[in-house]
Amino acid sequence: MSETDLSFLESSTFQQILYEMLLTVPEDLDRSEGSIIYDALAPIALALFKHHKERGKIIEQAFAVTATRKYLELMAIDYGLALDKNEPTEDLRNRILRHKRNPERGGALSDYERWALSIPGVNYARGLNLIRGIGTVDLVVGGTIPNLLETVRELIDRRKTPGLDLVVRHVSRQTVPIEVVVIGIDKEKARQTILAYTNSIGVGGTLFLAQIFAVLVGAGATDAKILVPTTSITLKPDAQIDPVVTIT
């Protein structure tokens, strides 16, 4: 079966539809604007144009990346994901996308992350294999729900591989002192600029000295010297950065 080309739903305009309809009219008949034929076809072309737009909106509801809240909730029900009416729409969308893009693999490490992220309010999960030896998995989670660890553990215990030694724990915080000399912008602006960058560093990510310099220059600094740290720092696998910023 050949694929159906739906590009016309996006590219069709009222003028294009009307033009194509007028082409079907014999040339010996008056098709100019204001003619009987033109005036008869124009409302039909407008109705078809609106219909195409509505069809496009309907098709968008079939995809998690474009669906509105109502249809995202229906998708979540289809996938067996728990619903929370207070969960932000984008968080729900991301949970559905993670579920679709990471199918279960028979108890693989990614399955534990997948199961944890299926819980409303859990916005981070990372499995660490063999951290405490053979047959162990540490699942590091972050989220906004009460009793986070207990809720995740209860779900994982029902699904984990028998005999697996699994620990569910919070994301840890790794303190990183940052001391910078800045010229050209005030100290508070420089501090907030650095904090905005460090907030973008994910769990287990890397603090790059070159990026600190780049964001300061982007904020208007004419020069900057990073005193501490002296090299880029890679966080521990289960750690989120806790920056202590000093501007001199």
Residue 51 domain-assigned (yes or no): yes
Cα angle value 238/244/245 (rounded, 5°): 130
110, two tokens: 């990614």
* Count of other CB atoms within 10 angstroms of residue 29: 10
- Structural contact between residues 31 and 45, judged by C-beta atoms closer than 8 angstroms: no
Same domain? 218 vs 234: yes
pLDDT in tens, 132-188: 999 999 999 988 788 999 999 999 999 998 889 999 999 899 999 999 999 999 999
| Average pLDDT of span 238-245 | 93
| Coil vs helix vs strand at 190 | helix
Q: How confident is the model at residue 66 (pLDDT cuts 50, 70, 90)?
A: very high
- Structural contact between residues 138 and 128, judged by C-beta atoms closer than 8 angstroms: yes
What is the C-alpha separation between 153 and 139, in angstroms, rounded? 9
Among 122, 148, 170, identify where a domain stops: 170
CA atoms within 13 A on the CB side of 233: 20
Among 127, 145, 170, identify where a domain stops: 170
Q: Are strands 136-143 and 165-170 parallel, antiparallel or unpaired?
A: parallel
pLDDT at 9: 53
- Is 9 or 73 the better-scoring residue by pLDDT? 73
Same domain? 242 vs 197: yes
Q: What does residue 176 show for φ and ψ, rounded to 5 degrees? A: -130, 110
Residue 29 domain-assigned (yes or no): yes
Q: What is the span of the domain harbouring residue 205?
A: 172-247
Q: How confident is the model at residue 2 (pLDDT cuts 50, 70, 90)?
A: very low
pLDDT at residue 190 greater than cutoff 90: yes
Residue 146 domain-assigned (yes or no): yes
**What stretch of H or E contains 207?**
strand 206-207
pLDDT at residue 4 greater than cutoff 60: no
Q: How confident is the model at residue 5 (pLDDT cuts 50, 70, 90)?
A: low
Among 123, 146, 170, identify where a domain stops: 170
Tokens 């034929």, residue? 37
Same domain? 215 vs 182: yes
pLDDT at residue 203 greater than cutoff 90: no
How many domains is the chain partitioned into structurally? 3
pLDDT at residue 1 greater than cutoff 50: no
pLDDT in tens, 25-41: 998 999 899 999 999 99
Does this model's pTM top 0.75? My answer is no
